[in-house]
Amino acid sequence: MQDVNLLGPYLVCRAALPALLRAGKSTIVNVASAGGIKPPAHMSAYAASKAGLIALTTGLALELAPTVRANSICPGIIKTPMTDALWSNDTDGGADAVRRAVGLGRKGTPMEVAYLALFLTSDESSFITGAVHTIDGGPVQAHS
């Protein structure tokens, strides 16, 4: 898990760094996880690997500015085969669990994550670096 979630992105960044520095005005966008910010129960190794990726990205932003910007994206529950499988035994496919866990009451889509990555690589985000961007549907409002 550490190799895939942390070492892999590190090696890609290291390999791409000479070209990014030559190009100037470059960006790095690493996809971490909301679990790297607020670790879910029974997923400590996963959470640690994603927290490490967030720290790596923030460190790169400090070290590479102003030539290269670096930001993290931290998705929450996104509709993918992996998250569909988490609730495959539920009669409602996990819809009730998602409604309890996500303020907007639904899973995000891969395209919503892609649009955030696209924004972070565009000139419109030229004053954003070292930031951790959650894309998780928001917090659930506490009921009194």
The CATH homologous superfamily to which domain 2-135 belongs is NAD(P)-binding Rossmann-like Domain (3.40.50.720)
Which residue numbers are catalytic? Answer: 46
Model confidence pTM above 0.75: yes
pLDDT value for 73:
98
Q: For the chain (length 144 residues), average pLDDT per consecutive 10?
A: 97 98 96 95 96 98 98 95 75 77 92 98 98 94 59
Q: Identify the burial level of 75 via C-beta atoms within 10 angstroms of its C-beta, where 0-12 means exposed, 13-18 middle and 19 or more buried.
A: buried
Helices 44-64 and 8-23, axial angle in degrees (round to 10) = 20
pLDDT value for 143:
54
Place of tokens 């390999």: 15
